[in-house]
Amino acid sequence: MRIMVIGLGYVGLVAVAGLAKAGYQITGVDINIKKINSLNNGKIDIYEPGLKEVIDEARLNQRISFKNIAEIKNIDCGIVIICVGTPSRPDGAADLSQVEYTIEWIKERTINSLTIIMKSTVPPGTGELLYKKYLAGFSYKINYISNPEFLREGQALKDWFYPDRIVIGGNNNKAIEEVSALYDSLNARIVKLDITSAELIKYAANAFLATKISFINEIACLCDCLGADINSVATGIGLDNRIGEGFLKAGIGYGGSCFPKDVRALNFLSTINGHNFELLRATIIVNSRQRLLPVQKLRSYLGNLVNKNIAVLGLTFKPGTDDIRESPSLDIIRLLLDEGANVSIYDPIRKNLNINLFRKDQIRFGKNILDTVKGTEAVVVATEWDQFIDTNWSEIKIVMNEPFLIVDGRNCLDPCIINNCGFIYSGIGRAK
Ligand code: UGA
């Protein structure tokens, strides 16, 4: 069977790779000509472990082709998967313009009946609205299925091939079964339900995980007040099966292209539907506050930050990705610059910032960890890259200046090792 995947970002490319591996014939389509050219030259513009290998293998087996949207005159395949972006609008709502454009584009080119699978994250209720607005009564029968993704950046292939569950929402049983069959090779648990409930599962899952993070961050702040250790507390509560160990890592909060955007969109959706989702708003407030903590900790040890030299290790919103969207690290750097500090930065993947976030003369990119921390009074660890955890901290101490402060924004370092090297260690909610 031939399948078209529209939108070749993280989600689209992983879908292309996963379905091609399962033996389907895939056409990957994108509006970005540069992206298509580089994919056709064997290059992938995102960092996702293992993705290139799976795509290369599928290419070799002639299972995939990549095309610019303008090259497609007719759509003659039975399934089209939409994976375009749904960014935040200034008011927090999801911007659905790419999704609507894509549906109109599909309609104009359809020459047979087909099934549209929506993988883009759209607010609950959107599928039914889109169906009524564009698809109901159309000359070809078009089924609409909501099939949200739960892929984590950096582990997306693993999540594709070994999903906890697959959610398929639709109003036509035949189409639900057709989509369900795509995942036969995965032997996964499949939840079949209506479109709006499927859409809500995606938002509720992200909002719940984000809330779990903000909850543990509140407990971490309490640990700081009481002299308790958040890592031990998190282990102790996570061992209760009803709570679970995942997403209990305290620190400077969640970032990335999903949690912040989806939590805001769910909050917006609740408000316009007359529900005051107080818990979700608290999640957002706590998350914004966590990003301020490293700067507050620096101030409490260094006093005024004017002309203080501070290294920030880590730019990406988490390890294993090159993605810096809504990364807490960026806010920390911004705050440090506002306070007049001199900031040096190092990230194992992001060697520079191609975006105009900061003036070039305000920051310095180090060549490696040692070069970055040289001459600084304090280091903030903003992303828990292995490279930072495994570094030789005694060597770091030699090139730094007093008071040799390490602010561990991800609680990823061993306080004993850091203290034994002669540093002051300050984590988020960790006993000294
Ligand atoms: C998240 C979800 O985990 C995926 O299931 C979902 O498909 C995806 O969003 C999406 O909506 O597309 P992702 O954004 O890649 O995936 O990253 P996560 O690994 O979930 O981490 C999100 C943020 O939470 C990171 O900034 C991470 O550092 C932070 N985090 C995570 C914590 O602060 N503490 C934790 O215990 C776990």
Per-residue pLDDT of the chain (432 residues), as tens digits, is: 899 999 999 999 999 999 999 999 999 999 999 999 999 999 998 889 999 999 999 999 999 999 999 999 999 899 999 999 999 899 988 999 999 999 999 999 999 999 999 999 999 999 999 999 999 988 899 999 999 999 999 999 999 999 999 999 999 999 999 999 999 999 899 999 999 999 999 999 999 999 999 999 999 999 999 999 999 999 999 999 999 999 999 999 999 999 999 999 999 999 999 999 999 999 999 999 999 999 999 999 999 999 999 999 999 999 999 899 999 999 999 999 999 999 999 999 987 776 667 776 779 999 999 999 999 999 999 999 999 999 999 999 999 999 999 999 999 999 999 999 999 999 999 976
What value does the mean pLDDT of the chain take?
Answer: 95
With CA atoms as reference, report the closest residue to 393 among 410, 415, 411, 375. Answer: 415
Residue 71 makes CB contacts below 8 A (sequence gap 6+) with none
If asked whether residues 80 and 174 sit together in one domain, one would say yes
**What domain range includes position 358?**
291-426
Q: Which among 288, 321, 342 is the end of a domain?
A: 288
Query: Is the domain of 158 the same as that of 265?
Result: no
The ipTM assigned to this model is 0.97
> Same domain for 284 and 383?
no
Q: How far is the CA of 149 from the centre of ligand 1 (A)?
A: 13
Q: Where are the alpha helices (DSSP H) in 357-429?
A: 369-373, 386-389, 393-399, 415-420
End-to-end CA distance of the chain: 60
Does 354 fall in a domain? Answer: yes
Q: What is the pLDDT of residue 45?
A: 87
Residue from 32, 128, 36 nearest 16 by CA: 36
Residue 381 lies in a domain: yes
13: CATH: 3.40.50.720
- Which atom of ligand 1 approaches the CA of 253 most closely? 33
**pLDDT at site 362:** 78
Taking CA atoms only, the protein residue closest to ligand 1 atom 12 is 258
Q: What is the pLDDT of residue 353?
A: 74
* 417, 393 Cβ separation under 8 angstroms: yes
User: What pLDDT digit, counting tens, does each position of 79-129 carry?
Assistant: 999 999 999 899 988 999 999 999 999 999 999 999 999 999 999 999 999
Ligand 1 centre distance from Cα of residue 209 (Å): 8
Reduce the DSSP state of residue 110 to 3 states and report it. Answer: strand
* 334 and 224 within one domain: no
Query: In total, how many domains does the chain have?
Result: 3
Are residue 42 and residue 186 in the same domain, yes or no?
Answer: yes
Domain shared by 390 and 412, yes or no? yes
Answer yes or no: do 243 and 310 share one domain. no
Mutating to test ligand 1, I would choose from 254, 330, 331, 411 the residue with most ligand atoms within 8 A of its C-beta, which is 254
pLDDT in the model for residue 92: 86
HSE (side-chain half, CA atoms, 13 Å) at 353 = 24
Same domain, 135 and 249: no
What lines the ligand 1 site, CB under 6 Å? 121, 149-153, 206, 209, 213, 247-249, 251, 253-256, 258-259, 262, 317-318
- The answer for residues whose C-beta is within 8 angstroms of residue 303's C-beta and 6 or more apart is none
Residue 342: inside a domain, yes or no?
Answer: yes
Instruction: Please count the other Cβ atoms lying within 10 Å of the Cβ belonging to residue 351.
Output: 13
Q: For ligand 1, atom 30, which residue shows the shortest CA distance?
A: 254
**pLDDT tens column, 299-314:** 999 999 999 999 999 9
Atom of ligand 1 nearest to the CA of 256: 14
- The span from the CA of 123 to the CA of 125, in Å, is 6
| 432 lies in some domain | no
Angle, in degrees to the nearest 10, between helices 293-302 and 328-338: 40
Asked if 7 contacts 84 with a C-beta cutoff of 8 angstroms, the reply is: yes
Q: Considering the domain boundaries, does residue 401 fall inside one? A: yes
My answer on whether omega of the bond before 403 falls inside 30° of 0, hence cis, is yes
My answer on whether 281 and 298 are in the same domain is no
Judge if 50 and 14 occupy the same domain.
yes
Number of Cβ atoms within 10 Å of the Cβ of 243: 14
pLDDT tens sequence across 405-429: 999 999 999 999 999 999 999 999 9
> Where a domain ends, among 193, 225, 249?
193
**φ, ψ at 347 (rounded to 5°):** -140, 135
| 234 occurs within a structural domain | yes
- Residue 356 pLDDT: 67
* 398 and 352 within one domain: yes
State whether 418 and 284 are in the same domain: no
Q: Which of 175, 193, 211 is the last residue of a domain?
A: 193
Domain containing residue 281: CATH number: 1.10.1040.10
**Catalytic machinery residues:** 258
Give distance in angstroms: CA of 337 to centre of ligand 1. 27
Task: Say if 137 falls within a structural domain.
Answer: yes
Nearest partner of 138 among 89, 104, 187, 98, judged by Cα: 104
At 46 the pLDDT is 87
Which of 199, 258, 261, 324, when mutated, tests ligand 1's pocket best, judged by the most ligand atoms within 8 Å of its CB?
258
Does residue 157 fall inside a structural domain?
Answer: yes
Backbone angles phi, psi at 83, to 5 degrees: -130, 35
Closest Cα to atom 2 of ligand 1: 152
d(CA 351, CA 349): 6
